[in-house]
Amino acid sequence: MGHEYKAIQWNKNKAVYDVYVFIAVAIFIGVFMAVGLQTHPSGHTADPVVLLIRALGATAFAMLTAILVIGPLARLSPRFLPMLYNRRHLGVMTFLVASAHFGLALLWYHSSGPLNPFVSLFASNPLYDSIPGFPFETLGFAAFLILFLMAATSHDFWLNNLSAPVWKMLHMLVYPAYALLILHIVLGALMMEKSMVYPIITGAAFLIVSGLHLYTGFREWAADSGMKSLKTKGWIDVGAPNDIPNMRALIAPLPKGDRVAIFRYDDKISAVTNACRHQNGPLGEGRVIDGCITCPWHGWQYKPDDGISPPPFTEKIATYNVRIENGRVFVDPKANPPGTRTEPAIISVQGRLPQCP
Ligand code: HEM
Ligand code: FES
């Protein structure tokens, strides 16, 4: 298949990206430990092992925060799309850093007594009804289990076996995991911390993640509401042909809550579902490359008129009938079965975009 049609696999781009992330992780841990030693020169937190445990935990939390802001940022600007393309690798690396934090904390705090470290983790502190003494490690453990499930199923093998909706639902657990981690930090590290810098950084991370999600969600809702008023005679009026940027799409909501991506490619217009077969990526945020609609997330491709991936691939997505009438583009909200060929609507001379001389 053409441009970038690859499932998540190693390629040069990903290897380079992983090296950058590795370097950033090493720098973050080094800076955290250096600043920690400067600001806490004595006592429990000056112990290099404790500092390393904290540094690994803080790095994993920062990485997870980055993972969660990539999605909304990519919706706000296509400049962030390359980060979305590499997000799964970042997720697996976050799990590895969190594992190092967990493993070291378990050995350091729970392996010197007579109990098995895992038993000690859950049995040594029963103060579940106390805020300052809460066994915050158990919250970290619950978050860790979720990260483990996500990392273990991150390969496309699991995506295909679990089906895209189940896989997506499983990976939405990242939000409860993030909430558990905020509590892990608030009830753990922040209870012992005197400086205000920690609560401010943790609070800012939480506000940025939730604020960006709320903002992009609101923008989509507002766009959907605006479009709904254009519904005429059962078909949806999505605007004038020139409202659709060439080689790109407009995304319109449908009465049943689905979304359709209406692509313009030169003087033709075709519509397909907005949900990519791979992981439900937003096809309407992609482009037409080499004549194929190309998903912005991982580059899967589909022909605009029949929604079928070009050979040798065989994936199919639903198409929609499109018509141009009185200078407006109308879409039939009834989806055609995946892979159904539809006649592209042809833009008349007046509707055409100016051609390059
Ligand atoms: C997804 C997994 C986890 C993440 C991302 C995470 C993250 C964090 C963060 C950000 C801190 C605060 C670091 C600081 O002081 O700046 C922390 C502290 C801590 N975490 Fe975790 N944690 C995770 C899982 C666990 C688990 C499973 C345990 C169980 C042993 C654990 C034990 C601790 C301990 C003991 C501290 C306090 C370290 C100290 O100050 O002595 N964490 N963690
Ligand atoms: S290519 Fe992965 S979601 Fe579309």
Q: Are 2 and 292 in contact (CB under 8 A)?
A: yes
Q: Which residues contact 33 (CB under 8 A, 6 or more apart)?
A: 48, 51, 52, 55
Q: Residue 227: its pLDDT value, please?
A: 57
27 within some domain: yes
Q: What is the CATH number of the domain that holds 327?
A: 2.102.10.10
Q: Residue 300: its pLDDT value, please?
A: 92
| pLDDT tens per residue across span 280-306 | 889 999 999 999 999 988 889 999 999
Mean pLDDT of the 199-221 span = 93
277 within some domain: yes
Distance from C-alpha of 329 to C-alpha of 334, rounded to nearest angstrom: 15
Q: Which of 147, 146, 131 is nearest to 190 (CA)?
A: 131
Distance, CA 141 to ligand 1 centroid (Å)?
9
Q: 239 with 107, same domain?
A: no
301 within some domain: yes
- 7-21, 151-165, 247-261 — most confident range: 247-261
Looking at residue 339, the DSSP 8-state letter turns out to be T
What type of residue sits at position 237?
D
Q: Residue 4: its pLDDT value, please?
A: 42
271 strand-pairing partners: 262, 320
Residue 352 has pLDDT above 50, yes or no: no
Q: Using CA positions, which residue lies closest to atom 1 of ligand 2?
A: 298
Q: Residue 42: its pLDDT value, please?
A: 75
Q: Using CA positions, which residue lies closest to atom 11 of ligand 1?
A: 57
Comparing 180 with 75, which gets the higher pLDDT?
A: 180
Q: Residue 347: its pLDDT value, please?
A: 86
Residue 237 has pLDDT above 50, yes or no: yes
Q: Residue 226: its pLDDT value, please?
A: 61
Task: Determine the 3-state secondary structure of 196 from DSSP.
Answer: coil
The share of the chain scoring above pLDDT 90, in percent, equals: 55
Distance, CA 31 to ligand 2 centroid (Å)?
36
Q: 135 with 201, same domain?
A: yes
Owning domain of residue 169: 12-222
Pocket residue to mutate for ligand 2, from 70, 298, 302, 317, most atoms within 8 A of Cβ: 298
Q: 265 with 172, same domain?
A: no
Ligand nearest the Cα of residue 35 is: 1
Q: Are 273 and 312 in contact (CB under 8 A)?
A: no
Distance, CA 154 to ligand 2 centroid (Å)?
13
Mean pLDDT of the 6-32 span = 82
329 within some domain: yes
The count of structural domains within the chain is 2
Task: Determine the 3-state secondary structure of 296 from DSSP.
Answer: coil
Q: Are 299 and 6 in contact (CB under 8 A)?
A: yes
Distance, CA 137 to ligand 2 centroid (Å)?
36
Helix (H) or strand (E) holding 174: helix 174-187
Pocket residue to mutate for ligand 2, from 4, 279, 302, most atoms within 8 A of Cβ: 279
Q: Residue 232: its pLDDT value, please?
A: 55
155 within some domain: yes
pTM for this predicted structure: 0.74
Q: Residue 328: its pLDDT value, please?
A: 84
What angle do the packed helices 48-76 and 87-110 form, to 10 degrees?
Answer: 160
Q: Which of 204, 222, 240 is the last residue of a domain?
A: 222
Q: 26 with 143, same domain?
A: yes
2 within some domain: no
242 within some domain: yes
Q: 91 with 179, same domain?
A: yes
Ligand nearest the Cα of residue 300 is: 2
Distance, CA 56 to ligand 1 centroid (Å)?
8
Q: Which of 191, 222, 253 is the last residue of a domain?
A: 222
Longest dimension (CA), the chain: 83
What is the C-alpha R_g of the chain?
Answer: 25
Residue 13 has pLDDT above 90, yes or no: no
Q: 139 with 241, same domain?
A: no
Q: 249 with 208, same domain?
A: no
Which of ligand 2's atoms lies nearest the C-alpha of 281? 3
Q: Residue 350: its pLDDT value, please?
A: 43
Q: 55 with 179, same domain?
A: yes
Distance, CA 72 to ligand 2 centroid (Å)?
16
Where would I find the H helices in the chain?
A: 12-39, 48-76, 81-85, 87-110, 117-123, 136-152, 156-162, 164-171, 174-187, 189-192, 197-228
What type of residue sits at position 120?
S
Looking at residue 115, the DSSP 8-state letter turns out to be S
| pLDDT tens per residue across span 80-112 | 877 877 788 899 999 999 999 999 999 999 988
Q: Which of 283, 282, 108 is nearest to 121 (CA)?
A: 108
Residues having CB closer than 6 A to ligand 1 are: 50, 53-54, 57-58, 60-61, 98, 101-102, 105-106, 109, 121, 137, 140-141, 143-144, 147, 181, 184-185, 188-189
Banded pLDDT at 10 (limits 50, 70, 90): low
Q: 168 with 208, same domain?
A: yes
Helix (H) or strand (E) holding 292: strand 292-294
Distance, CA 218 to ligand 2 centroid (Å)?
23
Q: Residue 228: its pLDDT value, please?
A: 54
| pLDDT tens per residue across span 152-179 | 988 777 877 887 778 888 889 999 999 9
Cis? peptide before 312, omega within 30° of 0: yes
Residue 131 has pLDDT above 60, yes or no: yes
Distance from C-alpha of 30 to C-alpha of 38, rounded to nearest angstrom: 12
What type of residue sits at position 8?
I
Q: 218 with 240, same domain?
A: no
Q: Which of 118, 92, 95 is nearest to 105 (CA)?
A: 118
Q: Which of 199, 201, 204, 196 is nearest to 187 (CA)?
A: 199
Q: 157 with 25, same domain?
A: yes
Q: 208 with 73, same domain?
A: yes
61 within some domain: yes
Helix (H) or strand (E) holding 51: helix 48-76
Q: Which of 222, 255, 271 is the last residue of a domain?
A: 222
Pocket residue to mutate for ligand 2, from 276, 287, 294, 315, most atoms within 8 A of Cβ: 276
